[in-house]
Structures are given as C-alpha cells and as structure tokens.
Amino acid sequence: MPERNAERTNRVAELIREFAAKFLARVDNHTSLITVTSASASPDLKRATIFITVMPEEKEEAVLKFVRRQRSELRGVLKKSMGIKTTPFVDFAIDKGEKNRQKIDELLRNG
C-alpha cells in the first residue's frame, strides 16, 4: 500500500508541476525566464513545493517574491483543474540541484 500512496503523490506532484508551468507562463511579465523544474507533494497531499529556476540569476529574489504573491491564484487553478478532494497549499523554491548541475556543466565545458 505505501507504494501506491507514493505513486499517487508522484502523480499529483507531476500534475502540479504541469499546471504551475502553464500558469506562470500566463502571468509572467517576461522580464526574466522562469522554468518550473519539478514539484514535490507531502504524503498527505496538503502541501506542495514547486521548484523553479530563474534567468538571469540576479532576478531570483524578485521572481521568488512575485511567484509567491501568485500562490492563491495558482491554488484556485489547481482546485478547478485537478479534481482532487484536497487542494494542496503551494510554495515556491529555487531549484538548487539544477543550479549546481548547470555550474558543473559550465566547469566541464570550460575546463
């Protein structure tokens, strides 16, 4: 049974990632490139974190503030679109793993 719950959690997280990417593409003011890289959901599906990357990197803090102001509107979209009993509260975070991967790629190219 735990595998089934993990599978459901992963499916919900992937749906949240897809809807968040579409939502941010619609509300973004296009002063920076925002990419939704992944999402994770708590096992009880009450909370979700959406991971993003921002280019240029100097705009990360401003973009994080911007997307966090959009949380309630995004949650409304998720509530309408996902059809699940409990709509998770969402938060955003910078995807540090992706940033590290990009730095390693750059070092390998220049090394």
CATH number at residue 17: 3.30.300.20
What is the pLDDT at residue 98? 74
pLDDT-derived band at 2 (thresholds 50, 70, 90) equals low
Give the count of domains, the chain: 1
Q: What is the pLDDT of residues 85-105, one digit of tens each?
A: 889 999 999 998 877 777 788
pLDDT score of 94? 95
SS3 state of residue 99? helix
Mean pLDDT for all residues in the chain: 91
pLDDT in tens, 36-75: 999 999 999 999 999 999 999 899 999 999 999 999 999 9
CA 91-26-20 angle, to 5 degrees, is 30
Alpha-carbon distance of 61 to 13, in angstroms, equals 24
- End-to-end Cα separation, the chain, in angstroms: 48
Domain holding 52, by residue range, is 2-110
CA–CA dist 91, 97 (Å, integer): 17
Residues 6+ apart with CB under 8 A from 33: 54, 55
pLDDT at res. 46:
95
Q: What is the dihedral of CA 43, 70, 93, 100, to 10 degrees?
A: 130
Q: What is the pLDDT of residue 85?
A: 86
Note the pLDDT of residue 33. Answer: 92
